Homo-oligomer: A and B are copies of this chain.
Amino acid sequence: MLKRSDIVVFSVTALAVAVAAVLQFTGGNDILRFVVAAVALSLLAMNVSTGTEQVGNYLSSGATGVLQAALGNLPELLVCAFSLRAGLIEVVQAALIGSILANSLLVLGVAILVGGIKHGRMRFDAESPRMIVSLMMVAVAALAFPTLAAELHTPAANHEDALSAACAILLLVMFVASLRFTLSADPERSLRHAPPKPDVTAQHWPLWLAITVLVIASLAAALVSEWFVSALEPAIHTLGISQAFAGIVIVAIAGNAVENVAGIRLMAKNRPDYAMSVILSSSLLIALVVCPALVLLSFALGGAAFTLVMPPLLIAALLLTTLTSAIIVNDGETIWLEGIALIGLYCIIAASFWWG
């Protein structure tokens, strides 16, 4: 029923969570606490992802898609929600945009580099990545408007809550429409980035186990997210880095580490179109779901409002990144040099946020 590798993963995860708990309650070294919590959170994210896949074996492919969309970004959503409660608004903003940057520049860059080194010039069927990039462009343009309105001192600047809420609702409507699309059985009407997964059947869990893993991992993720956030502020302080840099680099990479490895591995296996779809739709979901969900959540929770009015440099980085990835994807061909260029751009953006 369970393979040895599953048992190893469970054990390591449990161990990491236990160590994180000990450090959390004994008040250990800030940096160590932060690192262990980050590792535990990544491992839990992997278990949530595996659990979702396993439950998916008992559901239609459409329902699996919905489940994945809902739970795949759960750890990130939890971390951001706890950070908001802790008043770390700057971290949350940077972590959200940073996740998109990390996916669309760093992960895509590494994937293209690895693929290019192994397979030379890669040509791919760009249909599905192009569609994702088109939707991304629309979503990012929409996401940018509250900040543009505020920065340009338009009358809407005095109504940033209302404008952000309107944008959030429209982004969620786009997301629901996209679900409707993903759910469609007709391949001509779907985004077609869900290829057959041949390995999954080999590791078929019974339903009770899949659900148990999913529930326990999700609950543990909620706990560890809180520890992660509580260690975040002292760690930032000790390391002497800016809130923005912590969000855009550390939280963004920690929050997306596991799912990102999948995309890079697919590229190494010479499946560039699927790899790009996986990497880019991860960015798309953050823009279409996580950002608007947090806005509406923050209104519901009260306290410090989290609006879509972000630091303008973040929005500029987001727009340039989206345009760059659109142009890179559109030519239906990659070389490793493009990978290096994307990684370089990511480093330059990160450097711009280094000073606090």
Contact = CB atoms under 8 A, between A and B. Distances in A.
Contacts of A163: 351-352
Nearest to A328: B134
A138 B344 contact: yes
A141 B105 CA distance: 12
A316 B351 contact: no
Contacts of A16: none
Contacts of A137: 323-324, 327-328
A28 to B, nearest CB: 31
A131 B335 contact: yes
Interface residues of A, number: 75
A155 interface: yes
Interface of A: 116, 120-121, 126-127, 130-131, 133-135, 137-139, 141-142, 144-146, 148-149, 152, 154-156, 158-159, 163, 166-167, 170-171, 173-174, 177-178, 181, 186, 188-189, 191, 242, 311-313, 316-317, 319-321, 323-324, 326-328, 330-331, 333, 335-338, 340-342, 344-345, 347-349, 351-356
A131 B354 contact: no
Given A120-B186, A145-B317, 10 more contacts: A116-B189, A130-B330, A131-B338, A138-B338, A144-B320, A145-B351, A155-B355, A159-B355, A181-B335, A330-B330
A174 B219 CA distance: 44
B189 A335 contact: yes
Contacts of A144: 320
A133 to B, nearest CB: 7
B134 A327 contact: yes
Contacts of A345: 138, 141-142
Given A138-B342, A144-B320, A149-B313, A354 B170 contact: no
A169 to B, nearest CB: 10
B355 A139 contact: no
Contacts of A149: 313, 352
A348 B287 CA distance: 15
A166 to B, nearest CB: 5
Contacts of A242: 155
Nearest to A338: B134
A325 to B, nearest CB: 10
Contacts of A156: 351-355
Given A166-B351, A327-B137, A311 B344 contact: no
A320 B144 CA distance: 10
Contact of A312 (B152, B321, B327, B355): B152
Q: Across the A-B interface, give the 3 residue pairs with the lowest CB-CB distance, nearest first.
A: A138-B341, A130-B331, A155-B355
A175 to B, nearest CB: 10
Nearest to A181: B337
